[in-house]
Amino acid sequence: MSQGRLLVAIDFGTTTFRALVTEERSDGSLAVVAWGQEPAAGFQDGDFIDLRSGSQCIGRAVRVAETAADVDITGFTYNISGSHLRSVFARGQVQVGPGPRPIKAADIAAVLAKARSLAIPFDHQILAVNPIEYTVDRVGGIVDPSGRIGCQLEVEAHLITGSRSVVRNIENAIGTAGYSGAGGAVDVLASATALLQPPEKNEGVLLIDVGGAATGWALFRNGHIVGNGMVPWGGQHLTADLAHGLRIPMEQAEQIKRRKGVTLRSLVEEISPEILFGDDNPGVTGGLLAAILEPRLEEIFSLVKSDLGDARPLASLGGGLVLTGGGSRCRGSDALAEEVFGVPTQRRYLPPGLHGAARLPDGQWATAVGLSLWVAGAEPAPQTERRAGPPTRGVLGWLRRLIAHRRHGDRRMAAEG
């Protein structure tokens, strides 16, 4: 194995925990080293509701990756998701000096700190601060004010906050599993880091991650996130509808959905209402599957559309819509999204520059890759409250110490006993 820097990330998904070990190449790209995955346990709506089974599940997923990578993992970065996340806009303003002078990095840090001081619920913490635009002496629309001459600096920023208790509980579950949490990043921002290109964010792009029990979205305009949210429906609800409609067990419905699921009726032969609601068994045709799956996915997309609120209209999104997440894998999902949102839609599951991507098993790895890219500093990272010092270096330095390139024999799992 080459001795590039190793990064470890875990995606706590509502259906699956995915641990990923990657190696950072000299050009900043990542190569897959190893992975481990486990059906999620003790985890609901972004929180560990059963510490024991949740931490055991973390241990199992990480140990598979550890063994395959032949490294000793002691900590990793992780995603933060769930309905506790809130998206808010904040403004900050600082006086740079009595007279005009070039704006320095310290001024930018100070104005962002002002924006962060916005009153947030006492039980929440700021998880991400993303500047939308700066204003210097009442001249707005400035992307980077460094070096610009002025007296007064203002910023408009998009903040994501999350429950302090949930974040602490995630770290507790990681600790109970015998590891250290090396900082968390908002789930949908991690996926966006992996899947969206800067030009798309400049032109405007909507990312929708249809997961297991939830669907997250993030909207970017002029290179910045301008909104995000989630609705509590996902791929599991499509499976449940299929199980109910075909009167079969969930596992069988899941298999049928993955093998031949289609979510747009116009792609398959229409099935007549008499057959649909009659007593005869029509067999599991494409038309029947689409008749069951399309309304549910259409409902999920419509809920996302109304959750977008002020972030609409979408007609100006030059980068279109990018669909990801296991719940968007059925044939026709992109065409259906196009009908609902009225913008060109693509499905995307992995970043093109990921080396060794073919080694990953089927599944949604974009979030874990995005978390790794975030740590690697491939693009400006969402800043979390936990971080001290320069954004990526602090986390990286810590991670470097956390990962030993030799295995120290078998140890841990407090939670296993």
Ligand X SMILES: Nc1ncnc2c1ncn2[C@@H]1O[C@H](COP(=O)(O)OP(=O)(O)OP(=O)(O)O)[C@@H](O)[C@H]1O
Binding site for ligand X (CB under 6 A): 13-16, 81, 209, 211-214, 234-236, 239, 254, 257-258, 261, 325-327, 329-330, 363-364
Shortest distance in whole angstroms from residue 64 CB to Mg ion: 18
Shortest distance in whole angstroms from residue 80 CB to Mg ion: 12
Cα separation of 123 and 192, whole Å? 27
Nearer to ligand X, 14 or 74 (CB): 14
Nearer to ligand X, 81 or 392 (CB): 81
Number of residues that bind Mg ion (CB under 5 A): 2
Q: Which residue is nearest to ligand X (CB)?
A: 211
Q: For residue 363, what are the CA distances in angstroms to 149, 150, 177, 249?
A: 50, 50, 24, 22
For residue 234, the partner it binds in Mg ion, ligand X, none, with Cβ less than 5 to 8 A by kind, is ligand X
With contacts defined by CB under 5 A, name the span among 7-15, 146-154, 244-252, 289-297 that binds Mg ion. 7-15
- Three-state SS for 290-348 is HHHHHHHHHHHHHHHHHHCHHHCCCCCCCCCEEEECHHHCCECHHHHHHHHHCCCEEEC
Nearer to ligand X, 14 or 392 (CB): 14
Nearer to ligand X, 35 or 134 (CB): 35
Nearer to Mg ion, 181 or 211 (CB): 211
Shortest distance in whole angstroms from residue 241 CB to ligand X: 11
Nearer to ligand X, 24 or 47 (CB): 47
Q: Exposure string (b/e) for 194-233, b if CB count within 10 Å is 16 or more?
A: bbbeeebbbbbbbbbbbbbbbbbbbbbbebbbbbbbbbeb
For residue 15, the partner it binds in Mg ion, ligand X, none, with Cβ less than 5 to 8 A by kind, is ligand X
Cα separation of 285 and 288, whole Å? 5
For residue 330, the partner it binds in Mg ion, ligand X, none, with Cβ less than 5 to 8 A by kind, is ligand X
Cα separation of 27 and 351, whole Å? 15
Shortest distance in whole angstroms from residue 214 CB to Mg ion: 8
Instruction: Work out whether 326 is an interface residue with Mg ion (CB under 5 A).
Output: no
Shortest distance in whole angstroms from residue 24 CB to Mg ion: 23
Nearer to Mg ion, 131 or 351 (CB): 351
CB atoms within 10 A of CB 43: 25
Decide: 85 and 160 in contact? Cβ < 8 Å: yes
Instruction: Work out whether 13 is an interface residue with Mg ion (CB under 5 A).
Output: yes
Nearer to ligand X, 145 or 326 (CB): 326
> Among 66, 72, 63, which residue's Cα sits nearest to residue 413?
63
Binding mask 200-239 for Mg ion (x = CB under 5 A): -----------x----------------------------
Cα separation of 139 and 65, whole Å? 51
Cα separation of 387 and 374, whole Å? 13
Shortest distance in whole angstroms from residue 238 CB to Mg ion: 15
Interface contacts to Mg ion, rule CB under 5 A: 13, 211
